[in-house]
Amino acid sequence: AQSVTQPDIHITVSEGASLELRCNYSYGATPYLFWYVQSPGQGLQLLLKYFSGDTLVQGIKGFEAEFKRSQSSFNLRKPSVHWSDAAEYFCARMDSSYKLIFGSGTRLLVRP
């Protein structure tokens, strides 16, 4: 079955430091991949998506993600984290029925 794995439950970084959140997806043809962010008690906001083409995709809020087929990964990065980036981040892929399969999420904590 198609699945998405986010191996890190929590990540803590210092403000201004770089960030990388890991996401691995299971087998499949070219996957349609997404990163969402959720602030406490809020809905999910789309950060970026990958459908095809350039494997490095730019998103909102200074985030980017790179699709690596050889590693079945779609890691999210940001060069300099701001305190407002503290939130939970979800990676997702779309299955063959156009439904989203979510990872379990990574909670980002930012140290002042």
Binding site for another protein (CB under 8 A): 32, 34, 36, 41-46, 49, 51, 90, 94, 98-100, 102-105
- State the residue for tokens 């691995």: 24
Q: Which is nearer to another protein, 42 or 55 (CB)?
A: 42
- Least separation, in Å, of the C-beta of 11 and another protein? 15
Q: Which is nearer to another protein, 15 or 107 (CB)?
A: 107
Pick the closest to residue 86 from 64, 68, 66, 111 (CA basis): 111
- Least separation, in Å, of the C-beta of 42 and another protein? 6
Q: Which is nearer to another protein, 15 or 32 (CB)?
A: 32
Phi, psi (deg, nearest 5) at residue 20: -140, 125
- State the residue for tokens 């699709």: 67
Q: Which is nearer to another protein, 3 or 15 (CB)?
A: 3
Gap between the Cα atoms of 85 and 15, Å rounded: 9
Pair of tokens at residue 16: 């201004």
